[in-house]
Amino acid sequence: MREFDVAVVGSGYVGLVTGACLAYIGHRVTCVDKNERRVADLQRGKMPIYEPGLEEMVARGRSAGQLRFTADLPGCAREAEVVFIAVDTPPGEDGSADLSNVAAVARSIGRALSEAGERERPLIVVNKSTVPVGSGDYVSMLVREGAEEAGNGSVDFRVVSNPEFLREGSAVYDSLFPDRIVLGAESREALDTMRELYEPIIEQSFPAEMDPRPKAAVPFVTTDLASAEMIKYAANAFLATKISFINEIANICELVGADVSSVAYGIGLDGRIGPRFLSAGIGWGGSCFPKDVSALRSIAREYDYEPLLLDAAVCVNERQRKQVISKLQRELHTLKGKRVALLGLTFKPNTDDLREAPSLEIARTLSSLGARVVGYDPVAAKEAARLQPELKAAFDPYEALRGAHAAVVVTEWEEVRSLDPARAASLMEEPRVLVDGRNALDPERCRRGGLLYRGFGRA
Ligand SMILES: NC(=O)c1ccc[n+]([C@@H]2O[C@H](COP(=O)([O-])OP(=O)(O)OC[C@H]3O[C@@H](n4cnc5c(N)ncnc54)[C@H](O)[C@@H]3O)[C@@H](O)[C@H]2O)c1
């Protein structure tokens, strides 16, 4: 295996995990971030994010001398053979992806390349951020513009799209054992170089402390730039739509007296459908699905195409969050003067990410309707209360439930799944409603414990 000099720009959920995993499989990696405090923390081994297994992975890379951290992007771009762009692409006001961070990095790479003069091999600039179709060409243009600004526009580089599919909460595992690696480029040579870089993952030849290995080999999909960029949006749009689909079915189940959990199990056994992403509840959130579906809708509209199915997926999702409030209103009547406990605040378990977390919107709505809201989360309660000051942080689920008239399961952390209904009921006030936004608890056990259980699509 050839050892590459790699720079990864952006040390967040994607960049830091990618950098740590590339170091683990044997490359020399420098993670770059413009946030100097984040860099200083990482240099001391302090993690900026919560991601299972990441801290150990970073510590291992640092002590082996394979992984370092810096804020000096130009210095890294000059030395590296491959530069990954893994910066955030947040939604702009109109829903389209804001590419200003990607653009700043691309220009800076161009300037660095220009100043470095001739190279032995072209620099491979890999776009790992989720970006609209056409961004590969946009990045090429900006690298060249940056180089021209620095006085030498004839720089040697290739742009590659390498969309990321890791899931927060299992990001390290997903990076080492991915379902596939997707690469898009117009240059065969660049694709071959990327194959070489990823070889230990594709062939699963790196040392793994896991027996048996979950994967024998990883499919390596090569395509053109636009198709690679589209694969990322299409994957997230499909998954979001799948969740909205089961939520639509759940709502109909409630009307006709069917149980969506049985329905999901029954349809999920069909190999064409599959069992995953069929959990009904309060819907999708997080830093990816809302922004990526919104960016894809915005791309379609640029071409005067109405993305009706995607629009519907978003509408169903918005309605699910409102259903939490309706279910509470149905049982509590007025929310004024009522105390509601939110159990789990991050957008899903095993992450500290609160971007577009349903909990924050639910807390805002509840408090605008006069309720007092207490939120429990094993890792993000303090940060959630900072972002949503109407929310009082609790550091234990039972502390959140003390004196509450109702509770909402927002995120199915293990600590929430394993809640003791009888203990919860003993701490709560009448009518002791439990709205299970993830259908994560056993309705019968909750009822026996003294809770008024309300799930989604459950008879
Ligand atoms: N988080 C996920 O689960 C996930 C999964 C797949 C794809 N993605 C995509 O990957 C990209 C990164 O997402 P993330 O969640 O890692 O973001 P993040 O916000 O966690 O991290 C981004 C990092 O980039 C840094 N940064 C921004 N501009 C910079 C610049 N000019 N120079 C150097 N550093 C800069 C920020 O300081 C931050 O540390 C996004 O496009 C996202 O859509 C994210």
- 130 labelled binding-site residue: yes
Per-residue pLDDT tens for 358-390? 999 999 999 999 999 999 999 999 999 999 999
Q: If DSSP codes are grouped into helix, strand and coil, which group holds residue 285?
A: coil
Domain topology for 289-454? Rossmann fold (3.40.50)
Rounded-to-integer distance, Cα 106 and Cα 89, Å: 13
Check residue 430 and give its pLDDT: 97
Residue 411 assigned ligand-binding role: no
Query: How far is the CA of 378 from the CAs of 173, 197, 375, in angstroms?
Result: 21, 37, 10
Q: Is the CB of 87 under 6 A from ligand 1?
A: yes
- What is the pLDDT confidence band of residue 344, given thresholds at 50, 70 and 90? very high
Show the tokens assigned to 56. 């150990």
Residue pointed to by tokens 């653009």: 103
Task: Report pLDDT for 118.
Answer: 86
- The atom of ligand 1 lying closest to the CA of 16 is 16
Which ligand 1 atom minimizes the distance to the CA of 87? Answer: 24
Q: Which long-range contacts (CB under 8 A, 24 or more apart) does 383-387 make?
A: 383/352, 383/354, 384/345, 384/354, 384/357, 384/359, 384/360, 387/354, 387/360
Task: Give the pLDDT confidence score for residue 336 in this predicted structure.
Answer: 97
The H or E element spanning position 315 is helix 308-332
Q: For ligand 1, is residue 14 a contact (CB within 6 Å)?
A: yes
User: Within 13 Å of residue 35, how many CA atoms lie on the same side as its CB?
Assistant: 11
Residue of 360, 363, 322 whose CA lies nearest to 339: 363
Ligand 1 pocket test: pick from 87, 175, 182, 352 the residue with the most ligand atoms within 8 Å of its Cβ: 87
Q: Where are the alpha helices (DSSP H) in 257-307?
A: 260-268, 289-302
What's the gap in Å between 211 CA and the centre of ligand 1? 32
Q: What is the rounded CA–CA span in Å between residue 265 and residue 276? A: 10
319: annotated binding-site residue? no
Q: Tokens representing 424?
A: 């919860």
Q: Per residue in 250-266, pLDDT tens? A: 999 999 999 999 999 99
CA angle centred on 94, ends 89 and 95, rounded to 5°:
45
Express each pLDDT in 186-219 by its tens digit: 999 999 999 999 999 999 999 887 767 888 899 9
Q: What is the pLDDT of residue 152?
A: 86
Q: Which two tokens stand for residue 121?
A: 């091999």
d(CA 187, CA 105): 21
pLDDT 10s digits, 264-280: 999 999 999 999 999 99
Q: Is 329 left (phi over 0), alpha (psi -120 to 50) or beta?
A: alpha
Q: Where do the DSSP E strands lie in 324-402?
A: 339-343, 372-376, 391-394
Q: Where are the domains of the chain?
A: 5-223, 289-454
**Rounded to an integer, what is the distance from CA 284 to the centroid of its chain?**
11
Q: What is the widest separation between alpha-carbon atoms in the chain?
A: 75
347 residue type, one letter: F
What CA–CA distance (Å, rounded) separates 274 from 70? 43
Domains 5-223 and 289-454 share a fold: yes
Q: Is 356 exposed, middle or buried (0-12, 13-18, 19+ CB in 10 A)?
A: middle
| Per-residue pLDDT band at 78 (split at 50, 70, 90) | very high
pLDDT band at residue 163 using 50, 70 and 90 as cut-offs: very high
Among residues 307, 292, 277, which one has the least CA distance to residue 356?
Answer: 292
For residue 459, name the pLDDT band (cuts at 50, 70, 90).
Answer: confident
CATH number of 5-223: 3.40.50.720
Catalytic residue list contains 288? yes
Q: Cis ω on the peptide bond leading into residue 212 (within 30° of 0)?
A: yes
Cα 313 to ligand 1 centre (Å): 25
Chain-centroid distance of CA 162 in Å reads 16
d(CA 85, CA 9): 5
Closest approach atom of ligand 1 to CA 89: 41
The residue-averaged pLDDT of 279-302 equals 96
Per the annotation, does 347 bind a ligand?
Answer: no
Residues 6+ apart with CB under 8 A from 446: 421, 434, 436, 453
Asked whether 168 lines ligand 1 (CB < 6 A), one says: yes
- Distance between start and end Cα atoms, the chain: 57
pLDDT at 11 over 90: yes
For 178-202, letters b (16+ CB in 10 Å) and e give beebbbbbeeeebbebbeebbbbbb
Q: What is the DSSP letter of 429?
A: P
Between the alpha carbon of residue 173 and those of residues 203, 222, 378, the distances in Å are 16, 22, 21
